[in-house]
């Protein structure tokens, strides 16, 4: 039963152990480094491309300088203020701008707003783009407004080539507000009544989806022939939303989905970039509890590029810069409409699952990491529905966790009972097992053969206690994955814990203890103490001695440090689980009579032993091995 304790509480944390870097690992990293170095060398711009880039940058700088000089001249000289002269000067600035668009390079930046119950969007006419996104129903950990995308730290820019092959950027133009209502806004750059580009943003009455369309009309004579792509650069510096930078940083990722495939999450502690060779349905900038997603059923082409910067440890506010470079097709059609959708909202499973972003089989809920394989299935198919059902009838989140734990423990009770019976039988047979070990000494083959014969006669399987515990592991891993990402726990208090999504410190040390941290979590401490008591009781039941006995006591101490920094909702679950286990063990011990177990074992010994073909082959193999050993 010591094994039961270790499996039931701590097995899901085994993947946290780090491996020692050996020679093969060093060689592997060296090869990866060489490959990446070769890749960056191969894909680096050619001297001709670098010269063109410098030429473009110099042209832009020259345009800006001339525009500034012109503005100064208009103020200082009445002669230059003449409208015809100004117009001529503006035309002369069209070195890197289509002549008809030069008028839009002059203006004053202004902000506009649209809002609904859940979102407030701020727009700038400079680029006709979203400046900031506020989530109205939520607050940051410091009780300030939750700004998902902040002004000056978020940018969307369309770029294309004009008829002379020069690169134009939507961010360089002052777009006119062509139309605005309470729930929509339209920006336009018009060359004539029949030639224009429009950007339209539309909000529903509620929810977190923003419709976004780009309408290109009569621009076939103003965009270079043969240039088929409009390129969208979407950049955002993610801001700290939660109290602990560690978890927000650890859970930040770029997530994308290709058609007919599961979403892919790119997380990295290093600066990274990727080129996606296939088309994608959506790409998102994900934080621990909130995400910004851009989606389109058909208007995002292949060769999209995503990148993520390295976090500066000295920065306590900015998490990471994330970028996505997306391409949309334009073949010079007289009219072309590009349709997209944004999702700006919480990483709440049911909300994401029920959100329509205009993409078939979007699987937006897969943004939330629920574990791979069977562990994810348990979370999505069992834990989340039960959790949601309890949330509909119980308002207190701590009570919901307690009831969820009780339901899970009742479901697993038959396995716990079976494991207890097996352990009790093994304890009854322990004196005979010790005699066999003493009889054969270090000859482990004979010890194993006699032990198997004893188990067979007594009708006991040494695996019958382990298998039920192994069957519990999927739920174990699922719960360990679920609680740290459960949006429902965010900023929900219970007892002394102010926020079940983070640790419940009752003592801040003012300094950091290696492997432990700078605080003491009470739920983690209660979980550890209850586990030590449980281990002691199990040792009495199973009669375990020696090294295994002390390992059972050592593991809870290790994970006191590991779990001290985890969400208090998780450690509260483990503590409640231990308490319920105490109750189950007490009831089972009252129900099970050791005398009856002795009688069952005695009855089994009287029955003739029927050996299976597998057992016969095993015995034959063991005898052959013993004979070879004697000959040697």
The interaxial angle of helices 547-563 and 568-591, nearest 10 deg, is 150
Question: What is the per-residue DSSP string for 339-365?
Answer: EEEEEEEE--HHHHHT---S-TT--GG
Q: Are 306 and 274 in contact (CB under 8 A)?
A: yes
| Alpha-carbon dihedral 235, 239, 241, 244, rounded to 10 degrees | 130
How much is the mean pLDDT over the chain? Answer: 79
Residue 506 pLDDT exceeds 80: yes
pLDDT tier at 38, thresholds 50, 70, 90? low
CB atoms within 10 A of CB 316: 8
Helix, strand, coil % in the chain, rounded to nearest 5: 45, 25, 30
What does the block give as tokens for 27? 């060689």
Percent of the chain having pLDDT more than 90?
37
Burial track 459-482 (b if 16+ CB lie within 10 A, e otherwise): ebeeebbbebbeebebbbbbbbbb
Exposed, middle or buried, 31 (CB in 10 Å: 0-12/13-18/19+)? exposed
Helix (H) or strand (E) holding 625, with range, is helix 613-631
pLDDT at 304: 92
Q: How far apart are CA 502 and CA 360, in angstroms?
A: 35
Q: Are 543 and 574 in contact (CB under 8 A)?
A: no
Q: How far apart are CA 145 and CA 138, in angstroms?
A: 7
pLDDT at 420: 77
pLDDT (mean) for 121-126: 96
> Coil, strand or helix: which one is 137?
strand
pLDDT tier at 91, thresholds 50, 70, 90? very low
pLDDT at 28: 46
pLDDT at 431: 76
pLDDT (mean) for 35-42: 49
Which comes out higher in pLDDT, residue 597 or 44? 597
DSSP secondary-structure letter at 379?
I
The pTM of the full predicted model, rounded to 2 decimals, is 0.74
**How crowded is the C-beta side of 24, counted as CA atoms within 13 Å?**
2
Mean pLDDT check: name the lowest of 124-128, 246-250, 400-404, 495-499: 246-250
pLDDT at 341: 96
pLDDT at 542: 62
pLDDT at 255: 95
Rg of the chain (C-alpha set): 33
User: Beta partners for 185?
Assistant: 180, 201
Q: How far apart are CA 189 and CA 406, in angstroms?
A: 62
Segment 5-34, tens digit of pLDDT: 433 333 333 333 333 334 444 444 455 445
pLDDT (mean) for 162-170: 85
pLDDT at 591: 78
> Coil, strand or helix: which one is 432?
helix
């Amino acid at each position: 039963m010591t094994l039961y304790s270790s499996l039931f509480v701590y097995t899901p944390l085994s993947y946290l152990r780090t491996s020692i870097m050996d020679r093969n690992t060093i060689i592997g990293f060296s090869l990866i480094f060489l490959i990446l170095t070769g890749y960056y060398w191969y894909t680096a711009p050619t001297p001709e491309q670098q010269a063109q880039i410098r030429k473009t940058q110099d042209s832009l700088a020259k345009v800006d300088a001339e525009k500034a000089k012109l503005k100064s001249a208009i103020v200082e000289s009445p002669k230059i203020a003449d409208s015809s002269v100004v117009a001529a000067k503006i035309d002369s600035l069209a070195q890197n701008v289509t002549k008809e668009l030069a008028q839009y390079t002059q203006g004053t930046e202004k902000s506009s707003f649209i809002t609904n119950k859940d979102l407030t969007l701020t727009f700038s006419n400079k680029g006709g783009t979203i400046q900031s996104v506020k989530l109205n129903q939520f607050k940051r950990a410091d009780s300030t407004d939750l700004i998902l995308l902040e002004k000056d730290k978020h940018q969307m820019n369309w770029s294309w080539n004009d008829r002379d092959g020069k690169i134009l950027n939507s961010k360089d133009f002052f777009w006119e507000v062509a139309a605005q209502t309470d729930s929509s806004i339209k920006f336009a750059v018009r060359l004539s009544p029949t030639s224009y580009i429009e950007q339209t943003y539309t909000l529903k009455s509620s929810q977190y989806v923003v419709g976004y369309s780009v309408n290109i009309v009569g621009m076939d004579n103003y965009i270079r022939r043969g240039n088929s792509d409009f390129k969208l650069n979407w950049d955002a510096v993610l801001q700290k939303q939660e109290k602990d930078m560690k978890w927000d940083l650890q859970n930040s990722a770029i997530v994308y989905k290709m058609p007919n495939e599961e979403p892919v999450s790119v997380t990295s502690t290093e600066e990274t970039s990727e080129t996606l060779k296939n088309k994608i349905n959506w790409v998102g900038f994900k934080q621990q509890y909130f995400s910004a997603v851009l989606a389109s059923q058909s208007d995002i082409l292949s060769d999209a590029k995503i990148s993520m910067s390295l976090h500066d440890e000295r920065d306590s506010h900015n998490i990471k810069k994330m970028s996505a470079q997306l391409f949309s097709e334009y073949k010079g059609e007289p009219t072309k409409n590009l349709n997209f959708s944004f999702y700006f909202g919480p990483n709440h499973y049911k909300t994401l699952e029920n959100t329509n972003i205009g993409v078939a089989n979007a699987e937006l809920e897969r943004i939330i990491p629920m574990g791979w394989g069977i562990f994810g299935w348990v979370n999505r198919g069992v834990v989340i529905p039960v959790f949601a059902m309890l949330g509909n009838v119980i308002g207190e989140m701590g009570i919901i966790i307690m009831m969820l734990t009780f339901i899970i423990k009742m479901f697993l009770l038959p396995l716990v009972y079976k494991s207890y019976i097996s352990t009790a039988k093994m304890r009854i047979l322990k004196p005979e097992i010790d005699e066999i070990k003493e009889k054969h000494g270090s000859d482990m083959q004979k010890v194993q053969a006699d032990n198997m014969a004893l188990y067979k006669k007594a009708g006991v399987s040494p695996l019958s206690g382990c298998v039920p515990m192994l069957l519990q592991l999927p739920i174990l891993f699922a719960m360990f994955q679920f609680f740290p990402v459960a949006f429902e726990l965010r900023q929900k208090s219970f007892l002394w814990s102010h926020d079940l999504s983070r640790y419940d410190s009752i003592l801040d040390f003012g300094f950091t203890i290696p492997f432990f941290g700078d605080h003491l979590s009470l739920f983690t401490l209660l979980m550890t103490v209850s586990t030590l008591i449980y281990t002691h009781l199990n040792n009495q039941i199973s009669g375990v001695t020696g090294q295994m006995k002390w390992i059972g006591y050592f593991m809870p101490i290790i994970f006191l440090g590991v779990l001290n920094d985890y969400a208090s909702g998780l450690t509260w679950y483990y503590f409640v689980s231990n308490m319920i286990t105490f109750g189950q063990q007490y009831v089972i011990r009252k129900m099970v009579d050791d005398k009856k177990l002795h009688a069952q074992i005695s009855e089994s010994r009287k029955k003739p032993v029927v050996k299976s073909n597998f057992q016969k082959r095993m015995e034959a193999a063991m005898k052959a091995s013993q004979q070879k050993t004697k000959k040697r």
